[in-house]
């Protein structure tokens, strides 16, 4: 699908991987709805991309708010052709530690945001895309979700995060198979260690230690590299039902 003249929605689009994806889609000629809880950076990015993007304050776990973001894409820009899910949270903690057991409510929150919130985006976006007229290749839309290599190489202390991201991976193929009859593709990106706001608060020595484990390139991933893959997925019609690791050959150790 050629992004030019198409309409995209990016959850978690105010910054980090999502913000880079918003910019890349606009550079490729798309109109973009930035759906995020972070109002100040979301509105600032929309202002920067004036005319090509707009911001909708959105909690992906809230059905009404997510639906409102999808509806806004259709009312403001005339449709919805691509949806990229970048909204998520990172949590850490051991199942059993000196401080006690991993809090059940924190596990539930992590799964609710990272997995249930992703599914909420997928189903609402798919419903809108199914109403599109197919392009000459029969395509109506593309959905890109974000997992993590923690879905495969989960470390000690990542139980909730790994479980939530493994769930995203697990949705990819069955949803792609189901939506194939509408001409809607579904692909997941599983990034490794990227230089995002989530890592920005770490001491520099910790950031360097994370980068040191990446075989090549021996550095943290750049959000622009995630965005480039997201755009390519939109463009490449044969990418469907797959999870793509984007990690510089990193395989995370147990801890």
Residue 46 has pLDDT above 70, yes or no: yes
In the annotation, is 55 catalytic?
A: no
pLDDT at 65: 98
Residue 198 has pLDDT above 90, yes or no: no
Sorted by where each starts, the structural domains of the chain and their CATH numbers stand as: 7-246 (3.40.50.720)
* Tens-digit pLDDT profile for residues 204-254: 877 788 888 999 999 999 999 999 999 999 999 999 999 999 999 999 889
Residue 191 has pLDDT above 70, yes or no: yes
Q: Which of 161, 182, 194, 226 is catalytic?
A: 161
Residue 202 has pLDDT above 70, yes or no: no
CA distance 232 to 53: 20
Average pLDDT, the chain: 96
Residue 155 has pLDDT above 70, yes or no: yes
CA distance 119 to 88: 12
Q: What is the pTM of this model?
A: 0.96
Q: Between 15 and 210, whose confidence is greater?
A: 15
Query: Can you read off the two tokens belonging to residue 47?
Result: 């202002």
Band of the pLDDT at 199, cuts 50, 70, 90? confident
Query: Can you read off the two tokens belonging to residue 180?
Result: 């194939």
């Amino acid at each position: 699908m050629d992004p030019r003249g198409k309409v995209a929605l990016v959850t978690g689009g105010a910054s980090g991987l999502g913000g880079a994806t918003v910019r890349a889609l606009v550079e490729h000629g798309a109109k973009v709805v930035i759906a995020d809880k972070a109002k100040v950076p979301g509105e600032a990015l929309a202002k920067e991309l004036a005319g090509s993007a707009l911001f909708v304050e959105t909690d992906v776990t809230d059905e009404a708010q997510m639906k409102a973001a999808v509806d806004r894409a259709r009312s403001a820009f005339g449709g919805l052709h691509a949806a990229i899910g970048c909204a998520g949270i990172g949590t850490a903690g051991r199942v059993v530690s000196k401080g006690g057991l991993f809090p059940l409510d924190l596990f539930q929150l992590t799964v609710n945001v990272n997995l249930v919130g992703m599914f909420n985006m997928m189903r609402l976006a798919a419903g809108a895309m199914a109403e599109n007229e197919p392009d000459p290749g029969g395509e109506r839309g593309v959905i890109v979700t974000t997992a993590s290599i923690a879905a495969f190489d989960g470390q000690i202390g990542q139980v909730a995060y790994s479980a939530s991201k493994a769930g995203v991976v697990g949705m990819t193929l069955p949803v792609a198979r189901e939506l194939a009859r509408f001409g809607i593709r579904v692909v997941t990106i599983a990034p490794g260690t990227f230089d995002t706001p989530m890592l920005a608060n770490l001491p520099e020595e910790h950031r360097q230690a994370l980068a040191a484990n990446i075989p090549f390139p021996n550095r943290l991933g750049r959000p622009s590299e995630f965005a480039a893959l997201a755009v390519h997925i939109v463009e490449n019609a044969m990418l469907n039902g797959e999870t793509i690791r984007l990690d510089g050959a990193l395989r995370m150790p147990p801890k």
